A = this chain, B = another copy of it.
Amino acid sequence: MAKQVPATKPGVRGSRTGRPIMALLDLLGRRWTLRIVWELREGALTSRALRTACDEASPTILQTRLTELREAGFVELTDDGYGLTGLGRELFATFTPLSRFAERWSKRGGS
């Protein structure tokens, strides 16, 4: 019942379980979050460039997600625009295998 995850906003579902993975799964399971981290993989982007990279997603939600990602410590705003922090790059590294998996998945027999 106790909330053990320290610096996580109350609004992050799953944090109440005390299992960090739940909070992370919830954060990443929001629209555009995974995509943003993915698009920043090769370096910082300005907010506008990120918007372009994210298929013209609405600035409203991008701003919201960027704020969440900044609070989570995955993204930071520098002179070059938005970029992954060290932690953010670690996060990205964990789903690098996902890319290779996606390739295999796309070649599957389908539904």
Q: Using C-beta atoms within 8 Å of the partner chain, give the interface range for chain A.
A: 35 or more
Nearest neighbor of A103 in chain B, beta-carbon distance: B20
- In the docked arrangement, what's the CA distance between A29 and B6, Å? 24
Stoichiometry, copies per complex: 2
Complex contact B94–A97 (CB within 8 A): yes
Indicate which residue in B31, B55, B94, B105 contacts A95 across the interface (CB closer than 8 Å): B94
C-alpha gap A5/B104 in the complex (Å): 11
Which residues of A, 70-107, contact B by the 8 Å Cβ criterion? 70-73, 87, 90-91, 93-95, 97-99, 101-107
Q: Which of A8, A22, A33, A105 has the most CB of B within 10 A?
A: A105
Can you list the 4 inter-chain pairs with the closest CB atoms, starting with the nearest?
A7-B110, A20-B106, A20-B102, A73-B110
Q: Which residues on A are within 8 Å of B, measured CB to CB? A: 4-8, 13-14, 17, 19-26, 28-35, 38, 55, 70-73, 87, 90-91, 93-95, 97-99, 101-111
